[in-house]
Structure 1
Amino acid sequence: MEGLFLDSRRLLDGPWNAFERDIARLLVQNGFEDVRIVGGPGDKGADVLGVKKGRLWVVQCKFTSGGYPDPRAVDEVIESGRFYGAERYAVATSRPWGPAMHAAVDRWAKLGIKVDRLDPPSLVTMMRRSPEYPRSRRDLRRYQECCVDKLVGALRETGRGQLVLATGLGKTVVMAEATAQLLRDGVIDTGRVLVLADKRELVDQLQRAFWQQLPKTVPTHRLADGEEPSFWDGITFATVQSVASRLDSIPEFGLVWVDEAHHIGSESFRKVIDVLSPPMLGGATATPWRGDNYDIDQLLGEPVIRMGIDEGLRRGFLCEADYRLLADNIDWEFVRNQSRHSYSIKELNTRLLIPTRDEEAARMIADIFQREQRQSVVVFCASVAHAKAFAGMLRLYGFEADAITGDLEARERDKRMAALRKGSLNAVTTVDIFNEGVDVPDVDMLAFMRVTHSRRIFVQQLGRGLRISPHKEKVVVLDFVSDLRRISEVVRLQAAVAGDVERLHFMERVVQFHNAGAGEFMLDWMLDQADLMTREGDSKLDVPQFNFPEPAKPGSVQ
């Protein structure tokens, strides 16, 4: 059974978590929907969940390097099925079943509960009968086909290829299709591909996204969190940190991809790429700008295609955005003077929580959410403390709300993300978790509560709401701008600093928001630049170009 993604090498050598993921991929390959890997602490005995023909399956996976699998897996899958409300049960094993496991299945069968046997012979048969590509494989749009052709051509001819596509336009699909084509044509040296990312969550999402576009002959692996592939043929998805720590032991790769390629200028990425020196190097990003002015074209070459949010919207490839700027009446000089720390303008939003302002913003979000029948909202906050506080504020206004932040354990983040996707949470507050690698196409409302923003972060976060979904006609964006106007996607956000968060109460001062015009904000932004104190390492701020009309002179009519 060599040459399939789940073959004798995986069954014999694992590792166990790769076996578990291959079982999930096998379900995807055979038309299961909403396939999720749930194994881990608190999984209630389940490892993989999937839906087929409206029925929920729960699968317990047992990888063993020798001997019979533990027969307790049968009882565990029944228990987990009851917890998750499953209608079908299965146990997948890497070794043949022993008499005790068969007896356990027969015992439950007498009670009217069937447990499907996914032992090695059954898995081999299922793999061979699987379609060449998953039924969920995405058909490429014409511009995506063009991207694949140009990317493949650039990689074959120059060994370099860069793709710039706005969030929601399918850059991961393009990378996966380009990789499949290059592997199919046999032009990748060694037949090994490495896909690099800077976070574990991105690694997992990339691997899952690639599955939908790959033939069953291409195995996938993971190098992260201490996990290492038992063999390297096919595609390995890895964090740059995991590769950097193993540069002396990992094999050569014929093609290396850098996802979110704006990171490629960082020291860790450049070191890895320099040591690996792959014959082909590709990268894709929605936001090619870096605060340190490093030119990523140096490593990747000129982009073969650029398509930003504006063109994506104009051509109907992104969801319509109903963008509303909401200005407050807070006197920020008053705030600074009232604060016991006398924070500078640039520090206010990372160090202060202003309950009065948050309460008014939460009220407006709730009012618009209900009046315009929105499904779910993501609120971008200034800090972890602010995200948690604002989630509590939203709950007071009737939302099922929670914070998804970087201080949560990975399993808890996954749990809350799943709740958002299935609708049991309709409001999420966050800081930067949603910037990269998060796919929530049904989100139809965004709210920005941060005062300052970098162009890259703003575009990344705005892109979370621009994905097309059959369940929404537009995304409503509420931008609660304050002292530094978002019109310009202005300044780089200062890294969060450690220390206490000060809560400043306004007593009788009431915060109000009003809708403001773009021309007014443009003038205010230019004045605001004078308030910015240059930080060490900051790049020079250039006045951006806009297509807004000139604002009317005072006293005139427009």
Structure 2
Amino acid sequence: MTRYISEADTRANYIDPKLIESDWTSDNIEREYYFTDGRKLLGNKRGKRLFLDYLLKFNNINLAIIEAKKADDHPTKGLQQAIDYAEKLKIEFVYSSNGKQIYEFNRVIGKGDYIEKFPTPQELYNKIFGKNIELKRQLHSIPFYLTGAMRPRYYQEIAVNKVLENIAEEKKRILLTLATGTGKTFISFQIVHKLFQAKWNLDGESRRPRILFLADRNVLADQAINAFNPYENDLVKINGEEIKSRNGVVPTNAFIFFAIYQAIAERENIGAYYKAYPSDFFDLIIIDECHRGSANEEGSWRAILDHFNQSVHLGLTATPKREDNVDTYKYFGKPIYEYSLNDGITDGFLTPYKVKRVKTNIDEYIHTNDNKVIQGEIKKDRYDINDFDKNITIIQRTDLIARAILNNIGRMEKTIVFCVNQDHALELRDMINKYKTVTDSNYCVRVTSDEGKIGRTFLEAFQDNDKDIPVILTSSKMLTTGVDARNVRNIVLTSPIGSMVEFKQIIGRGTRVYDGKDFFTIIDFVGATDLFYDADWDGIPEDEIETDETGKTGSEKKLQKTQTNTVDESSEEYGEKKEKLIIELSNGRTLKVIDIDTRYIDENGKPLSAREFLEKLVGELPAIYQDENHLRKIWANPDTRKELLEQLGTLGFDREQLDALRNMIASPECDIFDVLSHISFSSDLKTRKERAIAVRENNFFAVYQNFKAKEFLEYVLNHYEKFGIEELERDKLGDLVKLKLGTTKDAKIVFGDMKNLLVAYYQLQQNIYKAV
């Protein structure tokens, strides 16, 4: 009889020896290499992680992957999946083997063929990195600077190595596009660390490079300085205070220089500090959030970069190319690597989100003499949502929004409220504090540029995950970029957003991963989340979407966007401040929230309405189970049911969304099984009570002679009827035993042994889900 040879046997007996023949050692091979965390699901659970059978490494670089198949499988059976993973990991060579044959595929040129043996590590490395190979080898050979159990994520490794390889190829303009929350500062530090250790510089001398880290806000520069702590003796911050302490001389006795460009650029009555440095002083300039400063010829940091035009310029941004940052891409060129918000959520490195669209009964204002003008004068016949809190404030509307915010967030859930401007942030802060139930005076605070040091202190406390207070920050533009607050649970939009770049930055405030944070909620009072449907969201070509859910065409929406307020907070103080119209409604009109529409996000980042959500789920279900009996068999077993729920979760339908689906087409008293069966096979909807009655009428308990055994199973059934399928999970059995029987020893006495108890628990579920 022919012995069955498993995939594990094939690896151990055939593939491993072939790798050893080609000089691959254990230092060069990672087996079952997991490179994603799995999409975050409700209940602190995760979707499926992605992994490779073999990852081949050399000189700290990922060179190839091997897909292993059983000896009696075709050698290229799993090739396509391996190619997809190689594309994700930016790995050029893919091998697929059943131990007897080896197939080599070059992803870059899209061709492959069978080969006699694996190439050696050195051969493969030389084949991939032929140009400027000595400098690349030197930079690659320097390991990442890591402490403790820290390990870089796969995209961070790619980003660092791509930058270093471009520097080795003498590229002078380099751009990385990485979603907010993916660790751009960590990536910057690793790049600097490797360049320092290699003593790379543009002169080719034996010295460390001089590097300028350029940001547009002090909070971002300070965060970066903290990340560069291992090199604290080699860094300095360029600002007026530092230069004053040096009698007006700019600092030069360091290797890493941090600055916000406003502090070193030319300003009224202050010369440009950057001009005090020779044009060839810096070897590398890293521009954080480079889309904000603008790369057009009149842009804030363009003059600085033009002065240091001989250095390498590395731009970091979270926003793909859009109409409002096209100059950035024109200056730096095409990104050498992109990692999107959707990538981060799918991989489990960023937190998913849901959207609450809150509609009120005042989305426009037409003045009547019944209403009281507190300040200003009426200049328009009609004021719409783009005017609110910018040109006109309606006191009762601000009051309503403050109450609605508190009603739609958890009492102690950290929340950022994005307002129209700094005055609006004050007004909302005061209204929220009027209705809050928490007595702490700093429960809700304003954090804007006007708050200065006080605001920065509040922000630091908000970012500290060991501190509960403050809970709510009101802001306008200051917090749109780069602020690392991992436990943000709600992003509130009370201001129209005219820029896709700004919208992505704001959404990014909530995406950072934190233990126990399964998702965050975007609470939208102004329809700003229509931008999710825009052709520009997450890289869809502009001409692919003609209309959105409101019926507006792309051109109409672009026109609308250009009319909204996009003034930076830091520029509010310039020019004459116009008197804002303030109205108090006095005609007896009652303002109220008329609708809260909760929308869930699919795996492509698009919010789904209730109908779209249902249609999408129906479309996905046939791939999971074939017919009603198959679904019934899966659902009646706690182990296979758990797998099914996890599979649905990876498709974007977790427990909360399934509950929402149940409420949409049935009622909370129905079992999720019946909802799935109904939408898939048009079967009748049944309640948990009906299923429990059927179990009792079928005399299931009669087979148990021991009264306590019968009583325990009836107890489990009652819990299911009252609370749902959570009471039937495998890991719930221990809690049920403690509640009803006492200890494990007591359970053994009642059922004979624990195996009998487990069998009874499973048989009860089979009876619950019998066809009735």
Which residue does the alignment assign to 2:123?
A: none
Instruction: Report the Cα distance in structure 1 between the residues aligned to 2:321 and 2:242, rounded to whole angstroms.
Output: 32
Please show how residues 15-54 of structure 1 align to structure 2 within 5 Å: none
Instruction: Report the Cα distance in structure 1 between the residues aligned to 2:159 and 2:259, rounded to whole angstroms.
Output: 24
Which residue does the alignment assign to 1:430?
A: 475
1:224 equivalent to 2:239? Answer yes
1:382 equivalent to 2:382? Answer no
Which residue does the alignment assign to 1:176?
A: 189
1:418 equivalent to 2:460? Answer yes
> Quick check: 1:164–1:286 contact (8 Å CA) kept in 2?
yes
Which of 249, 263, 266 matches 1:242?
A: 263
The superposition leaves residues 523-557 of structure 1 with CA deviations (integer Å, 9 ceiling, x where unpaired) of: xxxxxxxxxxxxxxxxxxxxxx97868989xxxx9
Instruction: Report the Cα distance in structure 2 between the residues aligned to 1:145 and 1:307, rounded to whole angstroms.
Output: 12
SS state at 1:476 partner: strand
Please show how residues 444-463 of structure 1 align to structure 2 within 5 Å: 444-463=489-508
Q: Cα offset for 1:231?
A: 3.4
SS state at 1:515 partner: strand
**Structure 2: which amino acid aligns with 1:260?**
E
Bigger mean CA deviation after superposition, 472-481 or 218-227: 218-227
Instruction: Report the Cα distance in structure 2 between the residues aligned to 1:547 and 1:478, rounded to whole angstroms.
Output: 13
1:324 equivalent to 2:356? Answer yes
Instruction: Report the Cα distance in structure 1 between the residues aligned to 2:412 and 2:513, rounded to whole angstroms.
Output: 15
Q: Cα offset for 1:302?
A: 1.3
> Quick check: 1:162–1:301 contact (8 Å CA) kept in 2?
yes
The superposition leaves residues 129-176 of structure 1 with CA deviations (integer Å, 9 ceiling, x where unpaired) of: xxx968589531111111111121122211232111111111111111
Q: Cα offset for 1:194?
A: 0.5
SS state at 2:300 partner: helix
SS state at 1:369 partner: coil
Over 3 Å counting, the alpha-carbon distance change for 1:265 and 1:502 in structure 2 is same
Percent of pairs with identical residues: 24
Which residue does the alignment assign to 2:730?
A: none
> Quick check: 1:436–1:460 contact (8 Å CA) kept in 2?
yes
Q: Cα offset for 1:518?
A: 7.3
SS state at 1:163 partner: strand
> Quick check: 2:355–2:598 contact (8 Å CA) kept in 1?
no
Instruction: Report the Cα distance in structure 1 between the residues aligned to 2:201 and 2:334, rounded to whole angstroms.
Output: 21
> Quick check: 1:404–1:430 contact (8 Å CA) kept in 2?
yes
Which residue does the alignment assign to 1:300?
A: 332
Q: Cα offset for 1:482?
A: 5.0
Which residue does the alignment assign to 1:16?
A: none
Which residue does the alignment assign to 1:401?
A: 444
1:233 equivalent to 2:276? Answer no
Over 3 Å counting, the alpha-carbon distance change for 1:236 and 1:331 in structure 2 is closer
Over 3 Å counting, the alpha-carbon distance change for 1:381 and 1:354 in structure 2 is same
> Quick check: 1:404–1:416 contact (8 Å CA) kept in 2?
yes
> Quick check: 1:148–1:178 contact (8 Å CA) kept in 2?
yes
Instruction: Report the Cα distance in structure 2 between the residues aligned to 1:483 and 1:234, rounded to whole angstroms.
Output: 43
> Quick check: 1:163–1:285 contact (8 Å CA) kept in 2?
yes
SS state at 1:247 partner: helix
Q: Cα offset for 1:484?
A: 9.5
> Quick check: 2:215–2:261 contact (8 Å CA) kept in 1?
yes
Instruction: Report the Cα distance in structure 1 between the residues aligned to 2:598 and 2:413, rounded to whole angstroms.
Output: 27
SS state at 1:325 partner: strand
Which residue does the alignment assign to 2:319?
A: 287
Number of residue pairs aligned between Structure 1 and Structure 2? 392
Instruction: Report the Cα distance in structure 1 between the residues aligned to 2:222 and 2:493, rounded to whole angstroms.
Output: 27
Over 3 Å counting, the alpha-carbon distance change for 1:502 and 1:198 in structure 2 is same
Q: Cα offset for 1:425?
A: 1.1
Which of 154, 164, 168 matches 1:152?
A: 164
TM-score (norm 2): 0.47
The alignment yields a C-alpha RMSD, in angstroms, of 3.3
**Structure 1: which amino acid aligns with 2:319?**
T
Instruction: Report the Cα distance in structure 2 between the residues aligned to 1:248 and 1:418, rounded to whole angstroms.
Output: 33
Which of 187, 192, 196 matches 2:210?
A: 192
Q: Cα offset for 1:349?
A: 4.0
The superposition leaves residues 505-524 of structure 1 with CA deviations (integer Å, 9 ceiling, x where unpaired) of: 333332324124779xxxxx
Instruction: Report the Cα distance in structure 1 between the residues aligned to 2:198 and 2:528, rounded to whole angstroms.
Output: 55
The superposition leaves residues 163-218 of structure 1 with CA deviations (integer Å, 9 ceiling, x where unpaired) of: 1111111111111111211221222236200111122232222212232xx456x6
Q: Cα offset for 1:450?
A: 0.9
Question: Is there any run of 5+ residues in structure 1 with no aligned partner, and where?
Answer: 1-131, 520-544
Question: Is there any run of 5+ residues in structure 2 with no aligned partner, and where?
Answer: 1-143, 244-249, 266-271, 372-376, 538-556, 613-663, 666-772
Over 3 Å counting, the alpha-carbon distance change for 1:139 and 1:353 in structure 2 is farther
> Quick check: 1:198–1:240 contact (8 Å CA) kept in 2?
yes
Which residue does the alignment assign to 2:596?
A: 515
1:502 equivalent to 2:547? Answer no
Instruction: Report the Cα distance in structure 2 between the residues aligned to 1:286 and 1:329, rounded to whole angstroms.
Output: 36
Which residue does the alignment assign to 1:90?
A: none
Q: Cα offset for 1:477?
A: 1.6
The superposition leaves residues 398-431 of structure 1 with CA deviations (integer Å, 9 ceiling, x where unpaired) of: 251111112122x212221133232221111110
> Quick check: 2:360–2:595 contact (8 Å CA) kept in 1?
yes
Larger relative contact order (CA 8 Å, sep ≥ 6): 1
Which residue does the alignment assign to 1:359?
A: 399
Q: Cα offset for 1:257?
A: 0.8
**Structure 2: which amino acid aligns with 1:248?**
K
Over 3 Å counting, the alpha-carbon distance change for 1:499 and 1:448 in structure 2 is same
SS state at 1:429 partner: strand
Instruction: Report the Cα distance in structure 2 between the residues aligned to 1:550 and 1:284, rounded to whole angstroms.
Output: 37
**Structure 1: which amino acid aligns with 2:584?**
H
SS state at 1:231 partner: coil
Larger Rg: 2
> Quick check: 2:145–2:190 contact (8 Å CA) kept in 1?
no
Q: Cα offset for 1:377?
A: 1.1
More helix by share: 2
